[in-house]
Structure formats: structure tokens, C-alpha cells
Amino acid sequence: ITHHQKDEFIFVKVDARLIMQVIENIVDNAIKYTHVGSHIDIHTYYNNKYAVVEISDDGNGISDENKEHIFDMFYKGNMTVADSRRSLGLGLALCKSIIHAHEGTIEVHDNVPKGCIIRFTLPLEEVTINES
Ligand code: ADP
């Protein structure tokens, strides 16, 4: 993953296939656990140390009690899935394993005024390379 600013590319060293899997799982949840007409936003930025990816929706959100468990294996909360796709409660546990393997962090927050934000970070490479 690269982020372009002026003449510099700042690198994040990742297994792109696995990080795509993480994004797919989170976006899939945002679709599964919200109603038709809801909005899903993907926002990326970086600071000195981390690339940050935030995926937010304006669905019913996640209660504080469930927030503590959604990254656990086989945890499904008490959500009823809007369609018939299989739900195993493994998606976010897998995301957590992949992000931790990259020495990043993953958290859930409330969106305003409603819904939730899943935010993950990936450490930036220390080296920046000039284009010219
Ligand atoms: P599942 O296979 O059940 O989707 P996950 O590990 O991906 O398993 O998610 C765990 C639980 O977290 C879900 O069952 C659901 O209760 C809750 N959850 C995940 N994403 C959202 C979301 N965007 N909005 C509301 N609840 C969510």
C-alpha cells in the first residue's frame, strides 16, 4: 500500500491479499448488519507512525457490551442477519489475527449519530523514497 504526498511515497509493508480480506470482511459486515439505504464510508489517512483505515456505517451500531466481544472467535452478538448468508462469528476474529500479525491495531467505535466505525492501523515503513 502506498500513499502519495507531493513527491513522496510512504510505504506500508503488508500481505495485500490478507489486508484485502480484512477490508472485505468489515465491509461485508457493514452490508449484512445495516438496512437497505444505509451508508458505508471508507476513510484512510496516516500519521507519523501508522496508516489508518476507518470503515463506518450508519446502521444500528454495536452495544458497549458487544463491543468487548466482537473480535472474539464465534461471537455473533444478538444480531439477526438480514439475509440467509452463513454467519459464523469468525470474520472479525480473523481480521484481528491478520492485523496483529502486521503489528497493527483494530478497534470498534460508535459512529455519530449512529452506527459503528471499525478502525485498523498498520505501521508505516520508516523509509520514504523520493520520486525523482
Ligand atoms: P459474523 O460471521 O457473525 O458476521 P463477525 O466476527 O464478522 O461474525 O462479527 C461478529 C459480530 O459483530 C456480528 O455477529 C455482529 O453481531 C457484530 N457486528 C459486526 N459488524 C457490525 C456492524 N457493522 N454493525 C453492527 N453489528 C456488527
Q: Read off the pLDDT of residues 10-30 as tens digits, 9 standing for 90 and up.
A: 788 899 999 999 999 999 999
Question: Which CB contacts under 8 angstroms, 24+ apart, belong to 126-130?
Answer: 127/11, 128/8, 128/9, 128/10, 128/11, 129/8, 129/9, 129/11, 130/7, 130/8
Confirm or reject: Cβ of 27 under 6 Å from ligand 1: no
Nearest-CA residue for ligand 1 atom 16 is 77
Predicted pLDDT of residue 95: 97
Peptide bond preceding 113: is omega within 30 degrees of 0, i.e. cis? yes
Nearest-CA residue for ligand 1 atom 21 is 29
Q: Read off the pLDDT of residues 45-75 as tens digits, 9 standing for 90 and up.
A: 988 899 999 999 999 999 999 999 999 999 9
Q: What is the pTM of this model?
A: 0.88
